[in-house]
Amino acid sequence: MKDAPPITVIADETAYAEAVQLALDSSAAYYADGTSTLDDDSYDRLVRGIEAYERDHPEQVLPQSPTGKVAGGAVVGDVPHLTPMLSLDNVFGAEQLADWAASVERRIGRPVTAWAVEPKLDGLAISARYRRGRLVQLVTRGDGVAGEDVSHAIGTILGLPGRLTDPVTIELRGEVMMTTAQFEEACAKRQAHDGTTFANPRSAAAGSLRTRERPYVCEQTFFGYGALPYPDDTSELAAGLREWPHSEVMAWVAGQGVQTTAVTPVAGTVVATIAEAQVRVEQIAAARPDLEFGIDGIVVKCDLAADQAAAGFSSRAPRWAVAYKLPATEKITKLVGVEWNTGRTGVIAPRAVLEPVELDGSIVTYATLHNVADIGRRGLMLGDSVTVYKAGDVIPRVEAPVVHLRTGDERPIPIPEVCPSCGDAIDTSQERWRCVRGRGCRAIASISYAAGRDQLDIEGLADNRIKQMLDTGLIADFADLFYLTREQLLGLERMGAVSTDNLLAAFERAKAQPLSRVFCALGVRGTGRSMSRRIARHFGTMAAIRAADAAAIQEVEGIGPEKAPVVVAELAELAPLIDKLVAAGVNMTEPGVPEGGLAVAAAAGADVEAGELELPLAGMSVVVTGAMSGELEALSRNEMNELIERAGGKASSGVSAKTSLLVAGEKAGSKRAKAESLGVRIVSPEEFADLVRPVL
């Protein structure tokens, strides 16, 4: 079956009746205040299962079935719409989209010459009525025929002006939603008020839009997607809005001061063929993880008004538009446990154990919980139904409990009183709790990390050897490795002359590693391999890094106002270790960087972004995939990333609309396909070697 969507299998008539009732209850809650017993993906699967059962058993179809009805038959509100606010039919892949487009062209009897492609926003559909340019009424979609008056929300929605540029009488349609920042602010306000949080941005928007009496106001955002003249309006503008292509209507809407997706990275686009529409679909899907608002699909529609009129409508949806659904990035599942782990820097981090759930194409069993304070802010309890979010390469995270699904059997999450690794006390003075022993708690892990291939690359230093050195008191941290003598190593059990000389030679080679690798070996919280390279290139020397205050650290790309003070504090804590490294003769400069680092060079007048420092990849975001060949064959992925950043670029792990270049070796796979769909430049390893020749 082409692009077959997943469905809930319904076995018999009893199960069918139960499924219909569950869908009705869920839909009513969803459109009433944003709450539901089901997440969007589960609801869609349920309705598709109901549709499949009804096709096979037409004699059993219940009159209240949600199939074929706008909003699943949820009747909310009593304000009639000027024209129905319909739903959209769905497709689930390229073949289904092509088949749908062919059916549209058969229906209108001619090829469609212009397709509009735009994101399907995951919000609440509303109509905004303007009289002589002034906003006078807001109405929800309801059952498509009538909705609820929510005019009390006027003034709380960004992107929906109180007055239009022109004094026109018009109805605008669009989506009300919360951005990531607005959602976090809304959760903080609710937490302060009653100790709970919203389950997700959509439920937060729905609940906030409808609530009339709440002691706090939650800001929301509007994106317009259409404009309708009143049925009896015979003005020239009304005639134009009825006859203009959809793209021209949206340009007019934006000109009235109304926000549209034109201001976002996923702006609506008009293409000539459905194949080009598919490319744009893939581009929008690739940009999804980086958006500040939720989308659950892409809408493809006939752009020309004549084509729309010829295609017509079904009882619940226009035949000239369809929603290309994307895999769910948010699902509801159970929080069954919390694991507490001490990391190599001594930070104690909780990890959520979940009932397995399929999310964004993979099965998720664990998710991030951040820290104790975050658990408290979100009001999480064991046994809670929770929303879990994942998109692209992002690690799954628990968003919030679904409070209205609580049964009373939930219980508090046990919080550790001592370090789960060593049993020592916990420093709770900061949000991120830490063992009082710091890195000493996980000394083996800390030293092993520093000696790893992507840091100091000390070959032959296994964990059992590190433990031996710690147990005998030869070392306390990885800086002590550079002070070990031949006699001390020979004194260790099962340590012969050859092994000793090889290890000493590895220590000497490690001293010559670039600053970026030395800095990475320190394991500064909030940094990793890529960030260590950026810091090293920005400052050039360890002395400059240590002299930098939080404001100077924040100038490094990717370091914000919250992370910068942490880096400064970590460097102060690591001062004795760094001093020992300096005294041992470990390199503290970054090769190929001007004296003082790129920051000083830029301050002196060199245009780093424009490439005046002769860096071949200046300002470029580069992704490497597949097996390297030629001169690059022996390089590890981290060494490739080092090469990219040495050449002035930014190494990235995932292809997105922001990617400048993809280095594709053999078996490049899905990243190459995504780059092709986004129009990203693709080069072979050999071509890339020539490109970065000055720094190779």
Q: Do 270 and 401 fall into the same domain? A: no
> Mean pLDDT score of the chain, rounded to an integer?
87
CATH, residue 27: 1.10.287.610
Residue 1 resides in a domain: no
pLDDT tens by residue, 242-273: 999 999 999 999 999 999 999 998 999 999 99
The predicted pLDDT at position 215 comes to 80
Instruction: Report the largest interatomic distance among the alpha carbons of the chain, rounded to a whole angstrom.
Output: 98
3-state secondary structure 508-520: HHHHCCCHHHHHH
Residue 204 resides in a domain: yes
When mean pLDDT is compared over 244-248, 376-380, 396-400, 623-627, the highest value belongs to: 244-248
Residue 583 resides in a domain: no
Residue 291 — φ and ψ, nearest 5°?
-75, 150
Q: Domain boundary residue among 511, 529, 550?
A: 511
Q: Do 354 and 496 fall into the same domain? A: no
pLDDT tier, 58 (very low <50, low <70, confident <90, very high otherwise)? confident
Determine contact, residues 237/248, Cβ cutoff 8 Å: no
The predicted pLDDT at position 498 comes to 94
Least confident of 85-99, 133-147, 382-396: 382-396
Judged against a pLDDT cut of 90, whether residue 204 lies above it is answered with: no
Q: Do 408 and 299 fall into the same domain? A: no
The radius of gyration of the chain's CA atoms, rounded to the nearest angstrom, is 30
Q: Do 317 and 351 fall into the same domain? A: no
Q: Do 103 and 205 fall into the same domain? A: yes
How is 206-244 classified by DSSP, letter by letter?
Answer: HHHHH-SS-SS---EEEEEEEEE--TT--SHHHHHHHHS
The predicted pLDDT at position 201 comes to 85
pLDDT tens by residue, 214-229: 788 889 999 999 999 9
Judged against a pLDDT cut of 50, whether residue 642 lies above it is answered with: yes
Q: Which residues contact 179 (CB under 8 A, 6 or more apart)?
A: 201, 221, 292, 293
Q: Domain boundary residue among 511, 537, 569?
A: 511
The predicted pLDDT at position 608 comes to 45
The Cα angle at residue 602 between residues 599 and 603, in degrees rounded to 5: 85
The tokens describing 316, both together, are 């619940």
Q: Do 283 and 145 fall into the same domain? A: yes
Better-predicted residue by pLDDT, 270 or 526: 270
Q: Do 448 and 400 fall into the same domain? A: no
The predicted pLDDT at position 611 comes to 40
Spatial distance between the Cα atoms of 457 and 132, rounded to a whole number of angstroms = 71
Determine contact, residues 241/168, Cβ cutoff 8 Å: no
Q: Domain boundary residue among 399, 427, 455?
A: 427
Residue 562 resides in a domain: no
Q: Do 51 and 193 fall into the same domain? A: no
Residue 535 resides in a domain: no
pLDDT tens by residue, 578-624: 999 999 999 999 987 776 666 655 555 544 443 445 678 888 999 99
Q: Do 367 and 387 fall into the same domain? A: yes
Determine contact, residues 305/244, Cβ cutoff 8 Å: yes
Please measure the distance between the N-terminal and C-terminal CA atoms of the chain and give it in whole angstroms: 50
Q: Which residues contact 673 (CB under 8 A, 6 or more apart)?
A: none
Q: Do 261 and 132 fall into the same domain? A: yes
Q: Do 108 and 204 fall into the same domain? A: yes
**Rounded alpha-carbon distances, angstroms, from residue 434 to 442, 559, 659:** 12, 22, 37
Domain encompassing residue 628: 614-696
**pTM reported for the whole predicted model:** 0.65
* Across 458-479, average pLDDT: 93
Residue 389 resides in a domain: yes
Q: Which residues contact 491 (CB under 8 A, 6 or more apart)?
A: none
CATH, residue 139: 3.30.470.30
Residue 98 resides in a domain: yes
Residue 110 resides in a domain: yes
pLDDT tens by residue, 69-106: 655 555 556 788 888 888 899 998 899 999 999 999 99
pLDDT tier, 681 (very low <50, low <70, confident <90, very high otherwise)? very high
Domain count, the chain: 5
CATH, residue 490: 1.10.150.20
When mean pLDDT is compared over 52-66, 138-152, 460-474, the highest value belongs to: 460-474
Phi-psi region of 72 (alpha: psi -120 to 50; beta: other; left: phi over 0): left
Known catalytic residues? 120
CATH, residue 366: 2.40.50.140
3-state secondary structure 634-670: CCCHHHHHHHHHHCCCEEECCCCCCCCEEEECECCCH
Q: Do 196 and 317 fall into the same domain? A: yes
pLDDT tier, 203 (very low <50, low <70, confident <90, very high otherwise)? confident
